[in-house]
Amino acid sequence: MNLSSRIAAPRTGTEWWRGAVIYQIYPRSFQDSNGDGIGDLGGILDRLEHVSKLGADAIWISPFFPSPMRDFGYDVSDYCEVDPMFGTLADFDRVIAQAGELGLKVLIDLVFNHTSDQHPWFRESRASRDNPRSNWYVWSDPRPDGTPPNNWLSIFGGTAWQWDSRRCQYYLHNFLTSQPDLNFHEPAVQDALLDVARFWLDRGVAGFRLDTINFYAHDAELRDNPALPPERRNDTIAPAVNPYNHQEHLYSKNRPETPLFLGRLRVLLDEYDAIALGEVGDAQHGIELLGEYTAGSDRVQMCYAFEFLAPEAPDAASVAAVINRMDQVAADGWACWAFSNHDVARHVSRWHLSPAALRAYAKLMICLRGTVCLYQGEELGLAEAELPFEALRDPYGIEFWPEYRGRDGCRTPMVWDEHAPAGGFSTGLPWLPVSPAHLPLATATQEADPGALLHHYRRAIALRHAHPALAIGSIARARAEGSVLTFDRRHAGEEIRCAFNLSDRPTSVDLPGGSWLAIDAEPAVGQVHAGGPMELGPWQACLLLRQEAPSSTA
């Protein structure tokens, strides 16, 4: 049987999330159903079948809550409603129902670190120093000279403190000034956020993606962050032009109080048999925090760090190093790997990938131990859209233009039909322009071409579903020899050797003795190898299922 032709069956059970494939939907840009140029819940309903046919187990929907849209939904003004631009709660209920019919779980994006400054909680908090919610946000008196209480910096540039004339105090904002940070040292804040989670769990969500999970708690003493030596700086989290990279964020995030809140959240999640996926935004300690936040049964189930969201393309040595680092510091944790999302340039552009390289990395993603997160359009090979300054909507890009162009280039609309207006995304003027370079990669065009990348992703996901060793197995013997990365996946007697030539030059790899069946070595599926040298073409991935070990007398 040609295993690449198997239909991917979504995983079920209480631990369906282990090894699952999650498809991220950025609702503004997925599908517009009413012609206003903005994607919505009705559009998600119209296109859910695409996600199901891909073989995904779940969708993650980025924020659709009421918001002033200063940060396009990540500045929430009401946690328990739907912004009218996206639809209604009834529309959301229909998404839950239809996703269930298609075998898809639904995760929604909860932004607990901060709210919009238009949220009723903040309006009350800023009104006085003695109202019932006065301590719900992080307030501080100025230093004697009137300057902010410490040196903490905002990811969006400049100080992380904003003066408020109503209270004559500063409030903390790790992101935009219009996104004040909630105070997790206040028990009532934690209680209110757990009530938010319960509201959506009662509506049938399978869990949450938790935005900026490591930012939740801050140092109660507001101590200064130390300087970060230049040799330790990198632009994984913030662009190099941002002074945020000059600090070791020892006190403004990554605090020991965060896992205590996660424990409270986990109790609620277990009540509903639900899960949480945390975003760990840290350039120096991402994997360590991932391990800390997902270890045991009293934290969240999985997290993703930024190792593969970095600007540099991972080579054989760096991937092996990440795998081995996970084994060293997060062996009891569970990762969710992503190459692209709504916050970074699409990886085909970020890593300057050829079509062959793009396919190899897609296969690599599917073979990693952990859960997989794909970003809408990744399965089409969409590149980062090139936008002029006047088309930008992202405040991050506007602030640091032109050295950093922001996140709009990865947020442009999906393309469904290259011959339809706006690529089939909308009958109106899209909120961001559709890239002309994306049109030939539209879904309808790729559906008609059996050799298209879309089908490559479907086959890869089907292979993961077909082999428990790839989905939930252990990972061992990760090593790099030149451009070749190899590692083993094992589960319940099934052993798969994964080999990747991450270069544009042919090479070879040595197989251990025994009998190995190629289960996905395009185009050599079904070949049997007896160990020893095996040729790998440029950017070739080869997955081999052990048939039998060499005899002890051989």
3-state secondary structure 216-279: CCCCCCCCCCCECCHHHCCCCCCCCCCHHHHECCCCCCCCCCHHHHHHHHHHHHHHHCCEEEEE
- Asked if residue 530 lies in contact with residue 513, where contact means CB atoms within 8 angstroms, the answer is yes
- Active-site residues, by number, are 211, 271
The contacts of residue 508 (CB under 8 Å, 6+ apart) are 533, 534, 535, 536
Reading the block at residue 298, the tokens are 């009293």
Euclidean distance between CA atoms 432 and 37, whole angstroms: 8
Q: What pairs with residue 422 in β-bridges?
A: none
Euclidean distance between CA atoms 527 and 3, whole angstroms: 13
List of long-range contacts for 550-554, beta carbons under 8 Å, 24+ apart: 550/512, 550/513, 550/514, 554/513
Reading the block at residue 366, the tokens are 């599917």
DSSP label at residue 182: B
Nearest to 510 by CA among 489, 548, 538, 482: 482
End-to-end C-alpha distance for the chain, whole angstroms: 31
> For residue 232, which amino acid is it?
R
Reading the block at residue 433, the tokens are 């322009």
Q: How many CB atoms lie within 10 A of CB 313?
A: 16
